[in-house]
Amino acid sequence: MMNCKANKSIECTVQQCANHCGSSNYCSLDCVHIGTHEANPTQDKCVDCKSFMLKG
Protein backbone atom coordinates (compact mmCIF):
# COMPACT_ATOMS: atom_id res chain seq x y z
CA MET A 1 0.00 0.00 0.00
CA MET A 2 1.50 3.31 -1.06
CA ASN A 3 1.57 6.18 1.47
CA CYS A 4 0.03 3.96 4.11
CA LYS A 5 -1.18 5.65 7.31
CA ALA A 6 -0.38 3.13 10.02
CA ASN A 7 -2.92 2.80 12.82
CA LYS A 8 -0.64 2.32 15.84
CA SER A 9 -3.55 0.74 17.74
CA ILE A 10 -3.77 -2.21 15.33
CA GLU A 11 -0.60 -4.28 15.01
CA CYS A 12 -0.51 -6.70 12.06
CA THR A 13 2.12 -8.92 10.47
CA VAL A 14 0.01 -10.24 7.56
CA GLN A 15 1.95 -8.77 4.65
CA GLN A 16 -0.39 -10.35 2.09
CA CYS A 17 -3.24 -8.07 3.23
CA ALA A 18 -3.98 -4.91 1.22
CA ASN A 19 -4.45 -3.02 4.52
CA HIS A 20 -0.97 -3.88 5.85
CA CYS A 21 1.50 -0.97 6.14
CA GLY A 22 4.64 -2.59 4.79
CA SER A 23 7.58 -3.04 7.15
CA SER A 24 5.92 -1.08 9.98
CA ASN A 25 3.67 -4.10 10.83
CA TYR A 26 0.53 -2.05 11.42
CA CYS A 27 -2.89 -1.99 9.79
CA SER A 28 -4.08 1.08 7.90
CA LEU A 29 -7.76 0.69 8.83
CA ASP A 30 -9.48 2.75 11.53
CA CYS A 31 -11.04 -0.42 12.93
CA VAL A 32 -11.07 -4.11 12.06
CA HIS A 33 -13.75 -6.80 12.22
CA ILE A 34 -12.64 -9.87 14.16
CA GLY A 35 -14.63 -13.09 13.89
CA THR A 36 -14.35 -16.86 14.03
CA HIS A 37 -14.94 -19.86 11.81
CA GLU A 38 -15.67 -22.10 14.81
CA ALA A 39 -18.90 -22.60 16.78
CA ASN A 40 -16.96 -22.52 20.07
CA PRO A 41 -13.47 -21.03 19.58
CA THR A 42 -10.94 -22.18 22.18
CA GLN A 43 -7.59 -21.31 20.54
CA ASP A 44 -6.11 -18.28 18.82
CA LYS A 45 -6.02 -20.14 15.49
CA CYS A 46 -9.84 -20.23 15.59
CA VAL A 47 -10.06 -16.41 15.38
CA ASP A 48 -9.95 -14.54 12.07
CA CYS A 49 -9.53 -10.97 10.87
CA LYS A 50 -12.65 -10.49 8.75
CA SER A 51 -11.20 -7.21 7.42
CA PHE A 52 -8.52 -9.10 5.46
CA MET A 53 -8.29 -8.17 1.78
CA LEU A 54 -5.78 -9.93 -0.45
CA LYS A 55 -3.19 -7.59 -1.97
CA GLY A 56 -3.64 -7.45 -5.67
Q: Is the pLDDT of residue 1 over 50?
A: no
**Which residue would you say has higher pLDDT here, 51 or 3?**
51
pTM over 0.85: no
Domain of 24, in residue numbers: 7-49
Would residue 22 count as lying in a domain? yes
Q: How far apart are CA 28 and CA 43, in angstroms?
A: 26
Residue 55 within any structural domain of the chain: no
In a domain, 14, yes or no: yes
Instruction: Indicate whether 30 belongs to any domain.
Output: yes
Closest among 24, 23, 12 to 53, alpha carbons compared:
12
Instruction: State the first-to-last Cα distance of the chain, in angstroms, to the nearest integer.
Output: 10
| pLDDT exceeds cutoff 90 at 3 | no
Give the C-alpha separation, 4 to 10, whole Å.
13
Q: Is position 15 within any domain?
A: yes
Q: How many domains does the chain have?
A: 1
Confidence of residue 2 (pLDDT cuts 50, 70, 90): low
Q: What is the DSSP letter of 17?
A: B
**pLDDT tens digit string along 5-50?**
999 999 999 999 999 998 899 999 999 999 999 999 999 999 999 9
